[in-house]
Structure 1
Amino acid sequence: MDRKSFLKAIGGGSLAMALAPNMMMAEELKMLDLKSANKLTILHTNDQHSRIEPFDASYTKNPNQGGFARRASLIQQIRSQENNVLLLDSGDIFQGTPYFNFFGGELEFKLMSMMKYDASTMGNHDFDNGLEGFLKVLPNAQFPFICSNYDFKNTILDGRTSPYKIFNKSGIKVGIFGVGIELDGLVGKKQYGETVYSNPIDVAQHYSNFLKNDQKCDLVICLSHIGYDYKDEPNKISDKILAASTENIDIILGGHTHTFLPEPQTFTNRQGKNVLVNQVGWAGLLLGRIDFYFDTNKNVKHISWNNQAIDSSIIA
């Protein structure tokens, strides 16, 4: 499919099959009329790696799976059914196909903007064209980049990202911050320049406290590009360690390790409360979905989820 045809195709289509999410109960679940509850739907991706089109049908792995047009169709279908939707990404939008080599991220940002992404954080591959390359295509992103532990003060990205954002969805206040992996040794110094990295755990604790206690957010989300787990390096900071070492984070939406989780995993934070952690692999093969149901006091009373495959069952 050429670029012009793809841009035309992404605007329409419908979901071919009904969603059938797994269910879980929140702490102290009481009888709740779900129809009367205030529902928030969170959709998320990570490590898209410029996979604009589906994998070719001839591929032995992931044949005819993925594709921005199918994802756009699924998102459009969900938005037609739900009133309160947040669409988020956890970084590594860039690098992996000739689309990035030719357009430098412009196409990815334009298509994500068409899908109405609400926010993203930055992954290490989003530095691949340097700060200059990122800044050049940034005007095509009609959504904010939330980077809490990267200080761009002495770079050309100063003032171009935000340490946090707060969204209000029908009275539900959602605070979002983002943490990225250490760049030194992973990204060339020339690419990240004078960007200053700070420890994700310290930064996460600061912003989760700020959002939950000072800003009175009902839900606090961390967009993470530090990786789900490192079995060979058990002490390396990961989403699992981040969840256990902090307070006031409700959800960690992860990236970097390309981990395909069948469902969100539950961890206990240092206060003994549950934290959900989810990651949906890479290349846009899945769209993560988590639905939160709030009672009239804005307490979470029910949660459902579905990591939806992006495949030929979705008509684009």
Structure 2
Amino acid sequence: MNKERRSFLRNTSLVTGLLLLQNPLKALTSASENATYLPGNNRELLIWHTNDLHGQPAGHRQEGEQGVFVDAGDFTCGTDNVNACMEMIRAMNKAGYHAATIGNRELANGQAALAALIPHMQFALVNCNYRFTDQSLARQVVRHKIVYAGSLKIGITGVGPQLTGTPGVTYLPPVEAADAVAATLKKEHNCHVVICLSHLGFQQPGETADNCDMATKSTHIDFVIGGHQQKMITTTAVFRNVAGNEVYLSQAGWNGMMTGKMKMLFNEHRQGCGIQPGYLMS
């Protein structure tokens, strides 16, 4: 090994060691997680959410307000107007979104078009039930996102509906896919809460999976944020999952008419002990 190589390795090790000493928890965690850190505490978690914005931003969460901010898909208008898509992404960046899932409108112009938009997003694009032939898109879409709000650890995943007219996208059963990721988030990443951004529709006919199925047929998901049908849930719905535990389901209208807002409450052991649901209308 030459002198320059030994010097490089020694200096790299020194810098890494200094980073670990400065903030050991974040440094070690970031090595295995794509995590975001927010202020908060271990007794309450504020979750803001939207869905089916269709290129029309919701205007209620003020910049700088605390809490996790997510979208359940179809945030773009679904046309080939790249400028309109970019304008929407800039609005979501400014609003402080942390994650969004893929709706049918995001893929309306094909895989390559969506892949070209993702580098401009300052939020994670999460989906666990699509497989893409476009390698750029496959690399950029993540199966889950982790957000720390104070000492609370939140895992976020997302699912989309079966698509027509979008070649190269393989659809996997969404409930099974999301619950498998949720199990990983709970058991391996020790998340206190798992949110599923479910762009399946509130209720679908026959055997087609929907958002209600996501709540009742899963085991490890705590909060389902729905989209894909023009449905207004005036308060958070409460279901029981396969294990008999409470699962919450919310959906915030469409076209930016409202922003969902829910506060999850925790006891001193960071176990959920209640909710305070609410909506803000445009």
Instruction: Please state which band the TM-score falls in when normalised by the shorter chain.
Output: 0.7 to 0.9
- Rounded Cα–Cα distance in structure 1 between residues aligned with 2:109 and 2:134: 18
2:201 is the alignment partner of 1:227:
yes
Give 1:137 shift. 2.5
Secondary structure of the residue that 1:75 maps to in structure 2? coil
Aligned mate of 1:285, from 257, 263, 267: 257
Q: Is the 8 A contact 2:63 2:94 kept in 1?
A: no
Q: What residue number does 2:91 align with?
A: 111
Secondary structure of the residue that 1:158 maps to in structure 2? helix
- Rounded Cα–Cα distance in structure 2 between residues aligned with 1:154 and 1:129: 13
Q: 1:291 to 1:280 in 2, by over 3 A?
A: same
Secondary structure of the residue that 2:155 maps to in structure 1? strand
Higher relative contact order (CA 8 A, sep 6+): 1
- Rounded Cα–Cα distance in structure 1 between residues aligned with 2:46 and 2:268: 17
Secondary structure of the residue that 1:76 maps to in structure 2? coil
2:183 is the alignment partner of 1:205:
no
2:279 is the alignment partner of 1:307:
yes
Q: Is the 8 A contact 1:120 1:145 kept in 2?
A: yes
Q: Is the 8 A contact 2:78 2:109 kept in 1?
A: no
Aligned mate of 2:76, from 68, 81, 94: 94
Aligned mate of 1:41, from 18, 39, 46: 46
Q: What residue number does 2:270 align with?
A: 298
Secondary structure of the residue that 1:243 maps to in structure 2? helix
Aligned mate of 1:127, from 94, 107, 110: 107
2:248 is the alignment partner of 1:262:
no
- Rounded Cα–Cα distance in structure 1 between residues aligned with 2:138 and 2:193: 28
Q: What residue number does 1:175 align with?
A: 155
Q: 1:156 to 1:102 in 2, by over 3 A?
A: closer
Q: What amino acid sits opposite 1:268 in the alignment?
A: R
Give a deviation string over 1:46-75, Cα, whole Å, max 9, x none.
0000125xxxxxxxxxxxxxxx4xx1xx31
Give 1:195 shift. 2.0
Give the % identical residues.
Answer: 29
Give a deviation string over 1:274-302, Cα, whole Å, max 9, x none.
11011111101010011012222101123
Q: 1:109 to 1:229 in 2, by over 3 A?
A: same
2:213 is the alignment partner of 1:236:
no
Matched residues, number: 242
Q: What residue number does 2:136 align with?
A: 156
Secondary structure of the residue that 1:107 maps to in structure 2? helix
Q: What residue number does 1:18 align with?
A: none
Secondary structure of the residue that 2:114 maps to in structure 1? helix
Q: What residue number does 2:169 align with?
A: 195
- Rounded Cα–Cα distance in structure 2 between residues aligned with 1:274 and 1:137: 37
- Rounded Cα–Cα distance in structure 2 between residues aligned with 1:222 and 1:205: 9
List gaps (5 residues or longer) in structure 1.
Answer: 1-35, 53-67, 311-316
TM-score of the superposed pair, with normalisation by structure 1: 0.72
Q: 1:261 to 1:43 in 2, by over 3 A?
A: same
Q: What residue number does 2:3 align with?
A: none
Secondary structure of the residue that 2:219 maps to in structure 1? coil
Give 1:167 shift. 1.1
Secondary structure of the residue that 1:159 maps to in structure 2? helix
